[in-house]
Chain A
Amino acid sequence: MARKEIPGTSLEGIRPTYVYKVVLLGNTSVGKSSLAYRYVKNDFKESLPTVGCSFFTQMINLEVATVKFEIWDTAGQEKYRSVCHLYYRGAHAALLVYDIANKETLSRAKLWLRDLEKEFLPDEIVIALVGNKTDLAAEREVNTEEGEEFARTKGLLFMETSAKTNHQVNDIFMAIAQELLQREQEKASAQSLHGRSTVDLGESGARTGCC
């Protein structure tokens, strides 16, 4: 369950590369595949219904580290739910996506949250609640405040997005990356307080590679 670390080298010295598994969960046709597609390819097209799971990768170069996202885009239909736990196992972050023009989908996102809470401890996974399709403002059924409030009480990141108009799609993934890195630092400093940093280095050496 440990996050993977590959120490990479740059001109300034060693800048770590972190590989994170990010899983997209939510009702069918709330726009999970479209969000992934927009984020990775910066484009929007009609997606086919996802059966099982599809995969994307994206790399972010930040000052302190390089982040590699492995994005697992899951099937949304309720009936696939029993196979979905295959997909979120070992995830470092999850996006719970709902459609702001369909109130029902927010309730489903809440159920997904319950599933995740059963599987993960709170500090094991970064969860973001994402209200997609802000381009359908005229048909809105869920207020921004409602999503925001729910995310606040549950300690989730929150953002409203539109994969279609490219509204805040990059931002939500960036927020997740920042949060993951911050947790990484907190963990490192907690460990060095306990004088265990050397152990950590030894562990991370297990998957050495260059990028």
Chain B
Amino acid sequence: EYEEKTGRAHRPLSPKQNVRKNLDFEPLSTTALILEDRPANLPAKPAEEAQKHRQQYEEMVVQAKKRELKEAQKRKKQLEERCKLEDSIGNAVLTWNNEILPNWETMCCSRKVRELWWQGIPPSVRGKVWSLAIGNELNITHELYDICLARAKEKWRSLSTGGAEVECEDAGFSAADREASLELIKLDISRTFPNLCIFQHGGPYHDTLHSILGAYTCYRPDVGYVQGMSFIAAVLILNLDTADAFIAFSNLLNKPCQMAFFRVDHGLMLTYFAAFEVFFEENLPRLFAHFKKNNLTPDIYLIDWIFTLYSKSLPLDLACRVWDVFCRDGEEFLFRTALGILKLFEDILTKMDFIHIAQFLTKLPEDLPSEEFFTSIAAIQMQSRNKKWAQVKRMLIFDNR
């Protein structure tokens, strides 16, 4: 009797249909599971067993449903977050374009703008903001760029035809030096962001990079080409038109910190390292002591980071975000970033010896988590006993005299 009842009660709705009815989607993982009676040539399942199987099946379906609902919710949340992010980028673009950029002088230092700035500048306005923030103290015009480029091209021609053109205006810089510089530019271009495949020979930005670096050696023969520059120029090219990239490049390199490094002014570089160590000790005393014990001096890792403004050592999107805030806060942000990296990896670094720390810091992990990274930088205080970066630096420069 019981058998009959249960059998009948369930027969009109096969479990599969039942499931279909209750779910707005088919649980993918259960579609292969169809509860059926045994084939006719075999003895039928005992009712108890059939009931048990039905129950088990239903439990499985419930579990699968739960699981898939959860996953669907997760996907929905991810999608929402992505939409939110894209919306916020879209909104940020509007804010930058409609409110901030037209009123740059009055707005650039406001709290609201500074906060938006920290979030990262949307790529479509990045170049404009960088240009404005870097400024053009040197008053370089597009015409001046053309002139410098024309001179560079002349030199390349005279080099390739083997003509020994003597130029009096560059007295003090041997022809061999400059020749080496021009040769080196060619060589380094092919080694700049090789993964992007756009600066290499035949790539779309090869000539642009070549032109900017060449024009710069004519604009500043006293500085010339220094390895590391090709990365800075390349990042600018990715965000600005050629002449504007040149203007930003020249002005950027003209800043005190960059000048000290690109002229390889050893004394001044040591001052920067010393100032950095003041803040290092203040922010991360435990790691600082560990580095001291291992004789790990800041030049080991800072030289590469400062020379290339992190564009060689960090993933490009993170490097651009560092550049964003570097444009806002100036040189001290470069050193704050360095401390942020050290803080992020403090626990690992404290367990390493000299050579492993050096190896680690000169080749950072490629999958640096961006949010944690910026949280870590934000946690660094650029204040030492009520003294700010600029004051500490000034004192050290004064002491060295």
Contact between chains at A79 and B191 (CB < 8 Å): no
Interface code B361-381, partner A: CB below 8 Å = 1, 0 otherwise? 011000000000000000000
Size class of the contact patch on chain B: 20 to 34
**Across the interface, do A53 and B303 meet the contact criterion of CB distance under 8 Å?**
yes
Known: A51-B303, A51-B312. 11 other contacts (CB 8 A): A46-B191, A50-B227, A53-B304, A54-B362, A57-B355, A57-B356, A75-B227, A77-B227, A78-B180, A83-B303, A86-B297
- Chain A residues contacting B308 (CB-CB under 8 Å) are 51
A49 contacts B by Cβ under 8 Å: yes
Indicate whether A153 reaches chain B with its CB closer than 8 angstroms. Answer: no
Contact at B269–A83, with CB atoms within 8 Å? yes
Q: Is B266 touching A83 in the complex (CB atoms < 8 A)?
A: yes
CB distance from B76 to the nearest CB of A (A): 42
A112 within 8 A of B: no
Chain A residues within an 8 Å CB radius of B187:
28-29
A80 within 8 A of B: yes
Q: Knowing A80-B227, A83-B303 touch, does A48 contact B355 (C-beta < 8 A)? A: no
Contact with A along B183-199 (1 / 0, CB 8 A): 01001101110100000
Let me know if A124 is at the binding interface, CB within 8 A. Answer: no
B122 contacts partner chain A, Cβ-Cβ < 8 Å: no
Residues of A participating in the B interface, judged by any CB pair closer than 8 Å: 28-29, 46-57, 70, 75, 77-80, 82-83, 86
Q: Is the Cβ of A48 less than 8 Å from the Cβ of B191?
A: yes
Contact between B184 and A52, CB atoms less than 8 A apart: no
B340 in the interface, Cβ–Cβ < 8 Å?
no
A199 to B322, CA, bound (A): 53
Query: Taking the nearest CB of chain B, how far is it from the CB of A74, in angstroms?
Result: 11
B228 interface hit (Cβ, 8 Å): yes
| B94 at interface by CB-CB < 8 Å | no
Q: Does B191 lie within 8 Å of A49, measured CB to CB? A: yes
Contact of B191 among A47, A54, A78, A86 (CB under 8 A): A47
- Residue B72 at the chain A interface, CB threshold 8 Å: no
- B307:A52 contact, CB within 8 angstroms: yes
> In the assembled complex, how far is the CB of residue B299 from the closest CB belonging to chain A, in whole angstroms?
6
A29 — which chain B residues lie within 8 A by C-beta? 184, 187
Chain A nearest Cβ from B272, distance in angstroms: 12
Neighbour of A57 across the interface among B301, B303, B359, CB < 8 A: B359
Question: Within the complex, which residue of A28, A46, A53, A83 is in contact with B264, where a contact is CB–CB below 8 Å?
Answer: A83
Bound: A104/B320 CA distance, A: 38
A79 to B180, CA, bound (A): 11
Q: How far is the CA of A55 from the CA of B299 in the complex (A)?
A: 13
Q: Nearest A residue to B269 by beta-carbon distance?
A: A83
User: What residues of A have a CB within 8 angstroms of the CB of B177 in the complex?
Assistant: 78
- What would be 28 A-B contacts, judged by CB atoms less than 8 Å apart? A28-B187, A48-B191, A48-B312, A50-B227, A51-B227, A51-B308, A51-B312, A52-B301, A52-B304, A52-B307, A53-B304, A53-B358, A54-B363, A55-B355, A57-B359, A70-B354, A70-B355, A77-B226, A78-B180, A79-B264, A80-B226, A80-B227, A80-B264, A82-B264, A83-B264, A83-B266, A83-B269, A86-B299
Give A1 Cβ to nearest chain B Cβ, in Å.
Answer: 13
Contacts of A77 in B (CB 8 A): 184, 226-227
A78 nearest CB neighbor, chain B only: B180
A-B pairs with the 8 shortest C-beta distances?
A52-B303, A55-B358, A52-B304, A55-B359, A70-B355, A51-B228, A51-B304, A77-B227
Chain B residues, CB < 8 A from A47: 191
State how many angstroms separate the Cβ of B207 from the closest Cβ of chain A: 20
**B interface: dominant SS:** helix
Note all chain A residues with C-beta closer than 8 A to B299. Answer: 52, 83, 86
In the assembled complex, the CB of B251 is this many whole angstroms from the nearest CB of chain A, namely: 21
Question: Are A82 and B355 within 8 A (Cβ)?
Answer: no
Interface centre among A48, A52, A86 (most CB of B within 10 A): A52
Closest chain B CB from A110 CB (angstroms): 16
Chain B: minimal CB distance from A34 (Å): 12
Q: Would you call B194 and A46 a contact (CB within 8 A)?
A: yes
Chain A residues, CB < 8 A from B184 = 28-29, 77
Q: Is B300 an interface residue when CB atoms closer than 8 A count as contact?
A: yes
Interface centre among B230, B297, B303, B308 (most CB of A within 10 A): B303
Whether B191 pairs with A52 at a CB distance below 8 angstroms is: no
Kindly list chain B residues whose C-beta atoms are within 8 Å of the C-beta of A51: 227-228, 303-304, 307-308, 312
B226-A79 in contact (CB<8A): yes
Known A51-B312, A55-B358, A83-B264; contact A28-B227, beta-carbon cutoff 8 A: yes
Task: Give the shortest distance, in Å, between A29 (CB) and chain B (any CB).
Answer: 5
* Nearest A residue (CB) for B361: A55
Alpha-carbon distance between A53 and B177 when the two chains are bound, in angstroms = 23
Complex alpha-carbon distance, A182 and B295, angstroms: 28
Q: Which residues of B contact A49 (CB under 8 A)?
A: 188, 191, 227-228, 230
| Assembled-state Cα–Cα distance A79/B224 (Å) | 10
CB-defined contacts of B363 to chain A, threshold 8 Å: 54
Q: Which residue of B has the minimal Cβ distance to A70? A: B355
Report A-chain residues with C-beta under 8 Å of the C-beta of B301: 52
CA distance A75 to B228 in the complex (A): 10
Given the complex, which residues of A lie within 8 Å of B300, measured CB to CB? 52-53
Q: How far is the CA of A46 from the CA of B187 in the complex (A)?
A: 12
CB of B304 within 8 A of CB of A82, answer: no
CA distance A88 to B354 in the complex (A): 15
The CA-CA distance from A75 to B300 in the complex, in Å, is 12
A70 → B minimal CB distance (Å): 5
* Chain B, range 150-192, C-beta contacts under 8 Å to A: 177, 180, 184, 187-188, 190-192
